[in-house]
Structure 1
Amino acid sequence: MKKWMMLSLILIVLAGCQSALLGGGQTIIEWVNFIKWNGQDFNSIDSGVLADNQYIGEKVGTVNFKLADNVTNPSYKTKDGDAAFYEKGTEIYSIKGNNDLLAVKSENSINGYQLFYSTESTEYKWHFKHMPLDEVKKIEIYTQVNNKRIAEIVDKGRIEDFLEILNTSVEDKDFAPNTNNRDSITYEMIFYTDGPIAYNFDMQFDGNTYFWYPWDACILSDDIKEFIPEN
């Protein structure tokens, strides 16, 4: 299942973590990707990327302490500047006009930043059902292996055709990709509107079937091939 969907199912307990007690009293904590700032937890937006660098605001501070690999006490109380996975000194940026958003530079994220939202001032609103389809102005498709852009769709008619394929995909909760001969190829679909966050969803191809996870598995029409150049 898509990584952001998996993360959204994690119950955030004990200040953003889960723990398991192993033999010998050792505790392993499974951290949610978050940053503590201004007394608030900012969780990662895993179905959204920065739309453009123009939205990056001022540097507001730096990470003071990385929790993963350093904290084993499930009762640990997080403090401002704590981050689950970012090293001490990592710079934290504001998003212009959005006090409930933060950004951290990331080589693994399309357009160069991982985005975070305040769990106390807003709800997660970047699922496919939240995307204003009539406001999509551009679609990009990337290969997930190296974040290489392989397609850009800007024509209004073609954008509508692409979105129609997604909207008419067929839900199949029992679907399992065919991995007998190969792993599925994963593509990143980026949908740009007028906001600072572009929506980001995975699409996969197992050699026979194109599918994606707006929530449960959905099978895509073979018409999607028209938009994906041969590698």
Structure 2
Amino acid sequence: MKKSSLFILLLIVLTGCRTTPFGGHAVIDWVDFIKWEDIEYNGIYSGVLADEKFIGEKLGTVKYKVADNVTNPNYKIRNGDAAFHEKGTEIFTIHGHSNLIAVKDASQINGYSVYYSRDATEQQWHFKNVPLDKVNKIEIYQPYTSEGNLLLSTYTNLEELKHILELLKNSEESPNFSPNTEKGDPDYFHIVLYTGQPIAYKFDLQFDGATYYWYPWDPAILSNEIETYLKKK
């Protein structure tokens, strides 16, 4: 590879954007963030607000949406900036958790997007972090419908909860798994685990027509028994 080409490649990687060597605007791949009072909060992709009762006081509103508006990779993020939320979107505290904030978001389960301060804590909403003995409710959703996230079923029975968690826990890690898409996109589901805490754990689960799989971290293959719980009750 020529030195000039290598330099361009490195520049793209380091700035997190896509551009051309002949000038023009950069297309920046923004991480979902909100900056507030000099703290940068990142979106919790594997978590949702468990209940609106956990919402605290209003902190303020988003001042500027950077996605679609900022094309300078040297732009310095400012207080009130958000990656994807429109100006005026309200920002709230979450009761008892100073490292978390939330914003109203109709596209999300339970109506809010949630964020954590990466300075105060690490991303800790992975399946390995779930206190399985405290899971008291599981919900199954079908996303991307005309109604948004369609609730298919809710489970609170202890035996059903135990069985679902066992199926998840006993899934077989398969980092190299590739779904079969010959007949189209797989069926998508969200599985949400509630533990009594403000943030419930949310994971993607899919079915490609032959195999059920999900993403506790790397792809993992599920027993076909999970099908029993993915139907509308």
TM more than 0.5: yes
- Name the CA distance, whole Å, in 2 between partners of 1:229 and 1:76: 47
- Name the CA distance, whole Å, in 2 between partners of 1:33 and 1:174: 27
Q: What secondary structure does 1:111 align onto?
A: helix
Confirm or deny that 1:163 pairs with 2:161: no
- Percent of pairs with identical residues: 49
What is the root-mean-square deviation of aligned Cα atoms in Å? 1.6
- Name the CA distance, whole Å, in 1 between partners of 2:34 and 2:232: 39
Residue equivalent to 2:3: none
Per-residue CA deviations over 1:107-134 (Å, capped at 9, x if unaligned) read: 1100000000001111100011111111
1:23-62 superposed matches below 5 A = 23-26=21-24, 27-62=26-61
Task: Indicate if the aligned counterparts of 1:139 and 1:152 stay in contact, CA closer than 8 A.
Answer: yes
Task: Indicate if the aligned counterparts of 1:22 and 1:28 stay in contact, CA closer than 8 A.
Answer: no
Q: What secondary structure does 2:22 align onto?
A: helix
1:21 to 19, 23, 33: 19
Task: Indicate if the aligned counterparts of 2:106 and 2:112 stay in contact, CA closer than 8 A.
Answer: yes
Residue equivalent to 1:124: 123
- Name the CA distance, whole Å, in 2 between partners of 1:18 and 1:31: 8
Code of the residue aligned with 1:171 in structure 2: it is E
Q: Give the number of the structure whose alpha-carbon radius of gyration is greater.
A: 2
1:171-182 superposed matches below 5 A = 171-182=173-184
- Name the CA distance, whole Å, in 2 between partners of 1:220 and 1:168: 8
1:19 is displaced (CA, Å) by 2.1
Residue equivalent to 1:66: 65
Q: Which structure 1 segments of 5+ residues have no match?
A: 1-12
Q: Which structure 2 segments of 5+ residues have no match?
A: 1-12
Code of the residue aligned with 1:129 in structure 2: it is K
Confirm or deny that 1:109 pairs with 2:108: yes
Task: Name segments (4+ residues, structure 1) moved above 6 Å.
Answer: none
Task: Indicate if the aligned counterparts of 2:99 and 2:117 stay in contact, CA closer than 8 A.
Answer: yes
1:89-108 superposed matches below 5 A = 89-108=88-107
- Name the CA distance, whole Å, in 1 between partners of 2:220 and 2:72: 40
Task: Indicate if the aligned counterparts of 2:142 and 2:188 stay in contact, CA closer than 8 A.
Answer: yes
The alignment's TM-score, normalised by the length of structure 1, stands at: 0.90
Confirm or deny that 1:80 pairs with 2:79: yes
